[in-house]
Structure 1
């Protein structure tokens, strides 16, 4: 099957160079192209992109093995400095992950670590080669209260508060963030892989397919390979692949032993086929990944369109994690997220919009025992807000 080619003409030269270096090929053609890239590299832009996409550990590992005379000394020194800083950060997170895991075990709370050091070890064989700024822990929803109490006991503080009505937080959101000021560690407690409304594997299914990490004493678990591919693809797509570290994760996983038939089954069962295809096409085009025959069923015209749409985030070095996000980017991202949905997911999303939002309670405050009234009132409250007329109504306090 002929590979689909994406239009990368507007992607910065320095980003294409970064991707070329990370491909880790040793052919004559690769070295010839490497030399051609070097002639036009803006090193300031190169370093900025390397940090933005969180790829500097891999770049440092590769470039230090090349002819150092081709790369400015200050570039290598800077890459070495942030590489070493990241190594200490990952060691710090590993120690904290071990502590949290032991504490959760004592409380009989089942935990699966989604990213962080376990992913660095699993996909790169070395925790220093992947960056991470926090710990992401997946637990059963019913254990969230006990897990939060444990984190607070250990010195963590809740770092965000979810506004909710009629219990919508359990399916509209997927994690709560906690921060340890003294240790400088952020921990996210997840009860879903992705925010809803969406279809995805339940915790018990993920637990039954979990995998032991080779890191530490073997009591730390991460997602099984097939679930990991599902999670990495859906997570990266949700963020527009705006950090290419997530795509390199996919590239690394594609080179490992995975039950690809099972992986396709997961994407099909939960209606994420087009997202799986998008991830594969991006990895093929940007990193020369070899797509296993078994997953080529995910590649179609729609996934090609979505892959091309994602190139936008690479052209403009989009940062979705720092407010304020430019309005033009926000508008594009909103449309892109909707286009990622299958027909079933779009229907589910539109149905979820009929369920009350916290904004409805702000528009018309009601006592808690009357919150069920927000269901039939939702269309009227939405229309009222759209009319931009303030509603100064205060009814029974309860």
Structure 2
């Protein structure tokens, strides 16, 4: 997988692939791996360019079918995104598309070349209630809704979360409605959302973040989710290619202003280590001198290996080891108040806690006392 996705020259890539294939590949494990990491559209395109006979026909047919299904879903999501953008803008709500089809079109020039899942859209916080009403009028309903939601609980949910989830049962489409770009305590200010570019989808112009804030948003998103899917890192690689048009000086200045330079450098280092894409020349010295960025990249690589070990051999120890590495990485990712915020997040009552037992607003603090026990119970059950 890494050999196919690497930024090496065709000659180097072909030599590595031929060597790996000659040493025997467990194609079932390979399929599960690329499916889990969400990179099968890119892998299929690359395998399709190889000489015939190198890859079993059954593998290629399975990949082809999966890619066709993904393309159909991408088209459906793109059409739905355009529909929702039009309706919301007709009602005076500015919508910014995040990731998904606009990102696929911007980076790959083809919405089918990136796996598709939810539709992610961002609206201003003051338009949130109106946007939710529009989604409901379009046939969506909110998932994970607390049945006895009071005004105070709604306010707590708004402050602690950054998006809500909506589902269209008939169309089988999920929408994540964001009112801020990332988690509280480690976020990209909404002022950066004012810097936009337009992407053409199905003949309609859809707004998304400009390249520089978009790259930082992707770096934050991938880091906060511990780079659990390689497709997120491959998006970064596409930005790091020479013809991407990214203004690296501007990104570096913006990262410095936002206090996320180390996370940004760590992301570039990880892409360089795993997928051999060269570091931007004008940032190379700063990256190589950032000791914490190197440490985070090392922790990411160890976590990557631990996660693959857990899937290959799902023993209790491998699961616990992976969980511990993930928590340690996330603690090292943050500093100061952001680290305290991350720790405190684990003591906030979850949706499951709120559904388990009802405490009135007066006794809401009891959820915080209950939380360690419910968290421990769920953690043990998952293992």
TM-score by length of 1: 0.80
Query: Which of 12, 27, 37 lines up with 1:43 in the alignment?
Result: 27
- Contact kept, 8 Å, 2:348 with 2:371, in 1: the verdict is no
Using the TM superposition, name which of 79-88 and 290-299 deviates more: 290-299
Using the TM superposition, name which of 224-233 and 20-29 deviates more: 20-29
1:340 corresponds in structure 2 to: 333
Query: Which of 94, 111, 129 lines up with 2:95 in the alignment?
Result: 111
CA 1:257–1:184 in structure 2 vs 1: closer, same or farther (change >3 Å)? same
Query: Which of 253, 265, 268 lines up with 2:256 in the alignment?
Result: 268
Is residue 172 of structure 1 aligned with residue 165 of structure 2?
A: no
Q: Does the residue aligned with 2:221 lie in a helix, a strand or coil?
A: helix
Query: Which of 181, 188, 194 lines up with 2:182 in the alignment?
Result: 194
**1:166 deviation in Å?**
8.1
1:135-186 residue CA offsets vs partner (Å, 9 max, x unmatched): 0001111111111110111100111237874833333211100000110100
1:111-190 matches, within 5 Å, as 111-161=95-145, 165=153, 167-190=155-178
The alignment covers a number of residue pairs equal to 356
TM-score by length of 2: 0.83
Instruction: In structure 2, list runs of 5 or more residues that go unmatched.
Output: 375-383
Question: In angstroms, what is the RMSD of aligned CA positions?
Answer: 3.1
- Contact kept, 8 Å, 1:273 with 1:298, in 2: the verdict is no
**1:356 deviation in Å?**
7.5
Q: Does the residue aligned with 1:137 lie in a helix, a strand or coil?
A: strand
Q: Does the residue aligned with 1:222 lie in a helix, a strand or coil?
A: strand
1:248-284 residue CA offsets vs partner (Å, 9 max, x unmatched): 0000012211222221223222222221122111111
**1:365 deviation in Å?**
4.4
1:1-398 matches, within 5 Å, as 18-23=1-6, 25-40=8-23, 41-161=25-145, 165=153, 167-202=155-190, 204-207=191-194, 209-255=195-241, 256-296=244-284, 297-299=286-288, 300-315=290-305, 316-317=307-308, 326-346=319-339, 349=342, 365=359, 367-368=361-362, 382=369
Aligned mates of 1:85, 1:340 — CA distance in 2:
36
Q: Which has the larger radius of gyration?
A: 1
- Contact kept, 8 Å, 1:138 with 1:192, in 2: the verdict is yes
CA 1:75–1:270 in structure 2 vs 1: closer, same or farther (change >3 Å)? same
CA 1:199–1:101 in structure 2 vs 1: closer, same or farther (change >3 Å)? closer
CA 1:218–1:92 in structure 2 vs 1: closer, same or farther (change >3 Å)? closer
Aligned mates of 1:150, 1:166 — CA distance in 2:
19
1:395 corresponds in structure 2 to: none
Q: Does the residue aligned with 1:122 lie in a helix, a strand or coil?
A: helix
Aligned mates of 2:277, 2:249 — CA distance in 1:
18
Instruction: In structure 1, list runs of 5 or more residues that go unmatched.
Output: 1-17, 389-398
